[in-house]
């Protein structure tokens, strides 16, 4: 009989905080975040997020179908005018706490400090290369929480972004993917074409994906931890990112206690 190989899948939902511009940009930092869930854990994680949304409806009147967009909740008081400022912050905090209990999730974070980068530095491409490479490596090393299957693969689901550029980048990395050798081992590159990430990325409107909205929250809280706005400088709000500690992919970077990859 032919050998039967079971292939299971890790799904990575991706969103960003900040913008990719280098000139006249309103943000110094660009954050790219990937929230990873195994297909076998997807339904249970989804159900828990839905339960959270029902609690927010009961507690604050935030409708189930409303998009949970962190920057709007914190800063845009033209939306959801019936929500008090403190309730908006409470919702952000409680969503972080709810996600932290879902230990079948893992969050990879890439941060680019745009200050001092050369004029030709491509923020979008460098951030995505780093994120995709960490996703690839963590699958290959079987370091994500979930079933330890030797044939795991991954697929990317991104919020609306530069679709064509990202698709071309992923296709290129499958054929040509030079990765710098770690400094302690010398100089040069290793050529490690992607083997574990299948298909082109699939793009999602965040308004229709609870997982993309969850990723948006993670990215927002990280950027606010690094460079908080006036609303998040109050009290300990800038530290809400640390509430996500149980689900941070700390193996992504050994040089940062939260696993953040700094570029």
Closest CA to 225 of 254, 258, 263: 258
Q: How many CB atoms lie within 10 A of CB 2?
A: 4
Residue 3 has pLDDT above 90, yes or no: no
Percent of the chain's residues with pLDDT above 90: 79
Q: Are strands 153-159 and 9-17 parallel, antiparallel or unpaired?
A: parallel
Output the pTM of the full model.
Answer: 0.93
3-state SS, residue 232: coil
What pLDDT shows up at residue 46? Answer: 98
Confidence band for 23, pLDDT divided at 50, 70 and 90: confident
Instruction: Answer whether residue 101 is part of any domain.
Output: yes
Question: CA-CA distance, 206 to 225, in Å (whole number)?
Answer: 23
Question: CA-CA distance, 219 to 70, in Å (whole number)?
Answer: 9
Q: Hey, CA dihedral for 53, 59, 61, 67, is it positive or negative?
A: negative
126 or 190: which carries more pLDDT confidence? 126
Instruction: Answer whether residue 199 is part of any domain.
Output: yes
Which residues contact residue 164 at a Cβ distance below 8 angstroms, ignoring those fewer than 6 apart? none
Question: CA-CA distance, 72 to 66, in Å (whole number)?
Answer: 12
Q: How many domains does the chain have?
A: 1
Instruction: Answer whether residue 167 is part of any domain.
Output: yes
What pLDDT shows up at residue 176? Answer: 75
Instruction: Answer whether residue 2 is part of any domain.
Output: no
What pLDDT shows up at residue 2? Answer: 60
**What average pLDDT is seen over the chain?**
91
Residues 39-65: tens digit of each pLDDT: 999 999 999 999 999 999 999 999 999
Which residues contact residue 47 at a Cβ distance below 8 angstroms, ignoring those fewer than 6 apart? none
Q: Are strands 29-38 and 105-113 parallel, antiparallel or unpaired?
A: antiparallel
Mean pLDDT over residues 104-118, rounded?
Answer: 95
Instruction: Answer whether residue 3 is part of any domain.
Output: no
In this structure, what are the phi and psi dihedrals at residue 11, rounded to the nearest 5 degrees?
-105, 130
Contact (Cβ atoms closer than 8 angstroms) between residue 137 and residue 34: no
What pLDDT shows up at residue 105? Answer: 97
Tell me the sheet residues that pair with 212.
none
Residue 184 has pLDDT above 80, yes or no: no
Residue for token pair 């969103």:
15
The domain spanning residue 142 has which CATH number? 3.30.420.10
What pLDDT shows up at residue 191? Answer: 67
Which H or E element spans position 131? helix 123-140
Residues 124-134: tens digit of each pLDDT: 999 999 999 99
- The boundaries of the domain holding residue 163 are 9-262
Residues 116-170: tens digit of each pLDDT: 899 999 999 999 999 999 999 999 999 998 777 778 999 999 998 789 999 999 9
How is the beta sheet containing 105-113 ordered, strand by strand?
A: 202-204, 153-159, 9-17, 29-38, 105-113, 261-262
Which residues contact residue 100 at a Cβ distance below 8 angstroms, ignoring those fewer than 6 apart? 243, 244, 245, 246, 247
Percent of the chain's residues with pLDDT above 70: 92
Q: What is the DSSP string of 25-64?
A: -S-SEEEEEEEEEEHHHHHHHHHHHHHHHHHHHHHH---T
Closest CA to 105 of 45, 159, 15: 45
């Amino acid at each position: 009989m032919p050998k039967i190989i079971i292939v299971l899948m890790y799904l990575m939902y991706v969103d960003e905080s900040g913008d990719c511009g280098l000139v006249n940009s309103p943000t110094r930092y660009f954050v790219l975040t990937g929230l990873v869930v195994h297909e076998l854990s997807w339904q249970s994680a989804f159900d828990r997020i839905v339960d959270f949304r029902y609690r927010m409806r009961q507690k604050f009147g935030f409708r189930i179908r409303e998009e949970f967009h962190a920057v709007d909740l914190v800063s845009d008081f033209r939306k959801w005018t019936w929500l008090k400022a403190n309730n908006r912050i409470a919702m952000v905090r409680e969503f972080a706490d709810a996600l932290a209990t879902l230990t079948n999730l893992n969050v990879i974070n890439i941060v680019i400090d745009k200050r001092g980068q050369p004029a030709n530095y491509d923020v979008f491409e460098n951030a995505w290369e780093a994120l995709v490479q960490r996703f690839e490596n963590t699958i290959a090393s079987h370091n994500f929480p979930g079933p330890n299957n030797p044939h795991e693969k991954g697929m990317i689901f991104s919020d609306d972004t530069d679709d064509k550029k990202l698709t071309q980048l992923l296709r290129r990395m499958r054929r040509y993917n030079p990765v710098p050798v770690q400094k302690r081992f010398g100089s040069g590159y290793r050529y490690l074409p992607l083997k574990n990430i299948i298909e082109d990325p699939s793009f999602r409107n965040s308004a229709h994906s609870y997982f993309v909205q969850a990723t948006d929250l993670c990215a927002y809280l990280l950027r606010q931890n690094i460079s908080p706005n006036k609303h998040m400088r109050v009290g300990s709000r800038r530290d809400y990112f640390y509430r996500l500690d149980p689900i941070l992919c700390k193996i992504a970077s050994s040089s940062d206690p939260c696993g953040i990859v700094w570029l």
